[in-house]
Amino acid sequence: MTEPILPRIRPEIAALAPYRQGKQAGPDAFKLSSNENPFEPLPSVLEALQATTPINRYPDATATRLRERLGERYGVGVDQVHVASGSVAILYQLVQAAASVGDEIVYAWRSFEAYPGLVLVAGATGVPVPLTGDGRHDLDAMADAVTDRTRAIIVCTPNNPTGPIITSDEFEAFVNRVPQDVLIILDEAYTEFVTAPDAVDGLDERVFDKHPNVVVLRTFSKAYGLAGLRVGYAIGHAKVLDAARSTGIPLSVTSAAEVAAIASLDAEAELLERVAAIVDRRTALAEGLRAQGWDVPDTQSNFVWLPTGTRTDEIAEAFRAADIIVRPFSGDGIRISVGEEESIEKVIRVAAETRG
DSSP state of 138: -
Distance set, CA 233 to CA 35, 64, 253, 270, 335 (Å): 18, 12, 11, 21, 25
Q: Give residues in contact with ligand PMP (CB under 6 A).
A: 35, 86-88, 112, 156, 160, 187, 189, 219, 221, 227, 232
Given the complex with ligand PMP, which of 69 and 230 has the nearer CB atom? Answer: 230
Least distance CB 189 / ligand PMP (angstroms): 4
Given the complex with ligand PMP, which of 62 and 160 has the nearer CB atom? Answer: 160
DSSP state of 199: B
Least distance CB 176 / ligand PMP (angstroms): 24
Given the complex with ligand PMP, which of 288 and 335 has the nearer CB atom? Answer: 335
SS3 (DSSP) at 81: strand
Cβ(152)–Cβ(95) under 8 Å? yes
Given the complex with ligand PMP, which of 132 and 252 has the nearer CB atom? Answer: 252
Least distance CB 293 / ligand PMP (angstroms): 27
DSSP state of 233: E
Beta bridge partners of 156: 187
Least distance CB 108 / ligand PMP (angstroms): 11
Cβ(244)–Cβ(62) under 8 Å? no
Q: Omega of the bond prior to 158 within 30 degrees of 0, cis?
A: yes
- Pairing relationship of beta strands 324-325 and 303-306 according to DSSP bridges: unpaired
Given the complex with ligand PMP, which of 298 and 348 has the nearer CB atom? Answer: 298
Least distance CB 72 / ligand PMP (angstroms): 21
Given the complex with ligand PMP, which of 229 and 350 has the nearer CB atom? Answer: 229
Phi/psi at 30 (nearest 5 deg)? -90, 125
Residue 199: alpha-carbon gap to chain centroid:
16
Given the complex with ligand PMP, which of 189 and 334 has the nearer CB atom? Answer: 189
Least distance CB 87 / ligand PMP (angstroms): 3
SS3 (DSSP) at 302: coil
* Residue with smallest beta-carbon separation from ligand PMP: 86
**Which is nearest to 231 in space by CA: 241, 221, 243, 242?**
221
Q: How many helices and strands, by DSSP H and E, does the chain display?
A: 13, 12
Per DSSP, helices labelled H in the chain are 11-14, 43-50, 64-74, 87-98, 114-121, 139-144, 168-177, 207-210, 238-247, 255-266, 268-291, 312-321, 341-355
Instruction: Determine the Cα–Cα distance for residues 299 and 169; give it in Å rounded to an integer.
Output: 19
Least distance CB 327 / ligand PMP (angstroms): 10
Given the complex with ligand PMP, which of 164 and 232 has the nearer CB atom? Answer: 232
Least distance CB 291 / ligand PMP (angstroms): 27
